[in-house]
Structure formats: structure tokens, C-alpha cells
Structure 1
């Protein structure tokens, strides 16, 4: 009973950390530490693996790509080969980090390992909940990785499949996928379409779902589409994001 309560405490700490992460609150780090300590006390490898995998996202969105890779690898090691969510969650995050660092071979390898880890999960764990991982998420994360590598053909295929799988009321991940689609337009040399698509994504998103992470990614996109700054579509995107016209 005590072990189950300790595992539950670790999971609750992880949920609190995830909530703060989505709000852009750095206090999430404190909850990761609390959760890791509880999982270690329970000697629960699956929970420890999950905790490190989720914390890797904190580093990823904070720009510490090398740190994100390190935690993702640690998450997979801690699983000890168990068919648990940690490795399935960690490998695609590792791939996205490698992609942003321009490491194509490492990206492809991590995506393959993520797919294999997903296949090993029991059906009840193949879900988009905080304690599961689904094919829709894998497709989203794969598309994001290929986008960062500039391989828009692969990226678009993954994005299309992800949108087929995600329910329409999953506003957050669908918005992230839409912003990746906008980035693909930019990479393919169409800044007008990139800015217009990103604007449409943000405007169509219910206000309560416009999280700090989504706005951050949209602003990052706006900064990376300099050719659109002088165009109406680019100016409108910056207005929607409450950015000064010349900021980037």
C-alpha cells in the first residue's frame, strides 16, 4: 500500500509539473525533482522512466537540446527494457532534439526506436493521456522532427496522418501540427502561405487553449519568416501575436 501511495505521489507531482510547463512557469522544475524523489523511493522503474521522459520536454522547450537528449536517453535506460511509456515518450523527444541540432542519422534512429517502443505498449497505454503515448503523438512528433530537418515531404506525410488520428477537440496538439505545417511552407519558399496558415491556426484556436508554449512556437515561426515582414500576411500574424511589426 505504501509503495502504491508513493507512486501516486510521484505521478501527481509529474502532473503538476506538466501543468506548470504548459503555462510557461519555471516552478515546474521543482515538481520534477519531487516526483523523481518519490519514484526513486518507490523503486518504480516505469515511473522513474516516465518522469525523466516528461522532464526532457522541460529542457527541450527551454532550449537546452543537449540536456533534453541526455534526459531522454536516461529515461530509456531507467526502463530496464520494460514495455512502459517512458521509452515511447522519450525516443521521439530525443529525435526532435537531434533534428534541431541537425543530426539526421540520430533523428531517424530515435524515431525508429520510438516506433518500436510504442508497438511494445499494452493497448491501454496507447492513449494520448499524460500517462500514455499514442500513434497520433508519434506522428505529430515525427513530423516535427522532419520539419526541423527541412525534409518537408516526410514532414507533411506525418502531419497529415497525425491530423487524421487526433480528435477534433484536441486543440493543443492540432495547433502545434498546424504551426509545423506553416513552417513547411516557409522552408519550401512560400512566406505568404506560412504567415497566413500560422495566423489561421492561432485565430481558430479557442482563447483558453492559447497556451504559452503555442504562442512561443508561433512567435518563433514569425521570427523565422523574415520575408513576410513587409507583407500583409506577416503583419497580420504579428498583430495576432501582439508583436511589434519590426520584432523578430
Structure 2
């Protein structure tokens, strides 16, 4: 179906960008918090098969990873950190990507809390420790979004190798 401004082109999720400053209007935050409450309520009611750690299940660890990102995007760093800790506690495997995504959320929280220098250092550290095969897609878009939101010397530091591949 065509729209007046042309057909809508779907955007892959990993191309979404964080705004330069993470601040949401109060009505958006209220809506997002209601959505989080709804997601928590649904997750609590999942049976064993639905909560299984399979391709078709939604395990509690994955739920905490998603909540980490939601709270990070809302700029609610205290809640984001709690979800990151819960997710890491439940991450029994060496899951490179899960740990990197949670670390990137933590780095973004540093930026939100005003510590751009620590956010830049954390981002560079995450990127350096990440195997080259994992430096694309979602983690790349989050690292790029964080890099774009940094200012001054913190922004410039993330341009130095190995982050210059962003």
C-alpha cells in the first residue's frame, strides 16, 4: 500500500540510532514504563516451555537483557544497571554477544550519567575485546550510536584505533 509520501521502507532494527541526548518526553516515558510493566507481567506468566532457553522460548535472562536496553534508552540508569546485573547472573555460558550488549548498555549509562570519558573508555574496551566476527549488526549500531552521542575529547578518543573502524 502506498502512502502520500511514498512507500514506507522498513528499517532494520540494528540501524536505529539513539538520539544525541537521551531524554524522552514525560508522556513517552510513562508509555514506555507501562510497556515494561506489561512485559514483566507477561514474562512472569510464561510456563516452562515458553520460558525455555530455546529458539522459541523467552528465558528470563533474555528478558533482563531486553529490559537493560529499554531502561538504558529511557535514561533510567539505576534500573538499567539492575537489569544488567540480573542478566549477567543468569548468563551461564560465555555468550560473547550477550555480555558485549550488556557492557555497551552500561557504557551508555555512563554517558547518560554525565561521564563521557568513562563511556568512551568502556566503549573502546568492549570493542577491543570483541572478536572481529562479532563487530557488526546490533553491537556495531549501539557502539556507533554511543560514539555519535559523545562530545569533545571523549568523542575524539573513540575515533582512535580500533574504534576507527566504526
The answer, yes or no, to whether TM exceeds 0.5 is: yes
Question: How far apart in 2 are the matches of 1:204 and 1:127?
Answer: 29
Bigger mean CA deviation after superposition, 195-204 or 207-216: 207-216
Deviation at 1:210, TM superposition (A): 2.3
Residue 163 of structure 2 corresponds to residue 210 of structure 1: no
Report runs of 4+ in structure 1 exceeding 6 Å deviation: none
Question: How far apart in 1 are the matches of 2:165 and 2:33?
Answer: 35
Q: Structure 2 vs 1, CA of residues 100 and 115 (structure 1 numbering), >3 Å: closer, same or farther? A: farther
Residue 111 of structure 2 corresponds to residue 183 of structure 1: no
8 Å Cα contact 2:127-2:135 kept in structure 1? yes
Query: 1:61 pairs with 14, 21, 24, which one?
Result: 14
Superposition RMSD on alpha carbons, in Å? 2.7
Q: Deviations for 1:79-122, whole angstroms, at most 9, x for unmatched residues?
A: xxxxxxxxxxxxxxxxxxxx986511111111111112112222
TM-score by length of 1: 0.54
Question: How far apart in 1 are the matches of 2:128 and 2:32?
Answer: 32
Count of residues paired in the alignment? 151
Larger Rg: 1
What residue in structure 1 maps to residue 162 of structure 2? 240
Structure 2 unpaired stretches of 5+: 1-8
TM-score by length of 2: 0.78
Structure 1 unpaired stretches of 5+: 1-28, 30-55, 65-98
What residue in structure 1 maps to residue 56 of structure 2? 131
